[in-house]
């Protein structure tokens, strides 16, 4: 468990003050999430704007892992 400091994806004014290219950061975050579908045993299964935050250092934090999914290796 770690405390994250940032703003929700719905706060566009604050996001613009944190990163110069919000679109690029969001695409990178979603690529990381999609990569977790392919490479990890479990993945965050509740990805929406309320569970993604722009952190003060420009990274995106994934919140609330209350719902996780799993894709079997056979699939």
Contact between 54 and 64 (Cβ < 8 Å): no
Catalytic residue among 11, 46, 57, 64: 46
Residue 2 CA, distance from chain mean position: 15
CA distance 47 to 41: 17
Q: Tokens for 26? A: 């969001």
46 classed as catalytic: yes
Residues with catalytic annotation? 46
């Amino acid at each position: 468990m770690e405390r994250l400091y940032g703003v929700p994806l719905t706060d566009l004014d604050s996001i613009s003050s944190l990163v110069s290219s919000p679109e690029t950061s969001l695409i990178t975050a979603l690529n990381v999430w999609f990569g977790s579908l392919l490479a990890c045993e479990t993945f965050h299964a509740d990805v929406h704007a309320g569970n993604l935050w722009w952190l003060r250092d420009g990274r995106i934090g994934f919140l609330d892992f209350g719902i996780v999914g799993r894709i079997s290796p056979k699939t």
